Amino acid sequence: MSSISKRWGLPKELFEGVIKQEQMISIVAEKKRFGKIVTVIKGLDYRDIDIQGLAAKLKSKLACGGTVKENNIILQGDHRKRAFELLVKWGFNRENIEVE
């Protein structure tokens, strides 16, 4: 049985592609304590996208650690280019992803 979105009232399969195309995502590298670099993926809508699941897929594909804080995905290391490629491959709109 498919899950129904509380926001849209439709099965997720019907609008998942549209939701991914509309996301305005920003991918930035930030320097943290002790000079460590992290990649932060911002702008994901937590109501329509499984951020925890997306973070798990990214961590697996990029072979790195990470977490989800305040609806942002934080990955250990500088993975901006590869994260961009993976998000596009998984259906997010290339023009709506900004890499800094």
58-82 pLDDT, tens digit per residue, is 999 999 999 999 989 999 999 999 9
Is the residue at 5 inside a domain? no
Q: Which two tokens stand for residue 53?
A: 């699941």
Instruction: Please report the pLDDT score of residue 91 as a whole number.
Output: 83
Is the residue at 32 inside a domain? yes
In sequence order, what are the beta bridge partners of 4?
11
By C-alpha distance, which of 20, 67, 61 is closest to 41?
A: 67
Q: What is the CATH number of the domain that holds 95?
A: 3.30.780.10
Global pTM value? 0.80
- Spatial distance between the Cα atoms of 75 and 60, rounded to a whole number of angstroms: 11
Number of domains in the chain: 1
Neighbouring CB atoms inside 10 A of 55's CB total 19
Where does the chain have alpha helices with state H? 12-22, 51-62, 80-89
Is the residue at 1 inside a domain? no
User: Which residues span the domain enclosing 81?
Assistant: 12-99
Is the residue at 85 inside a domain? yes
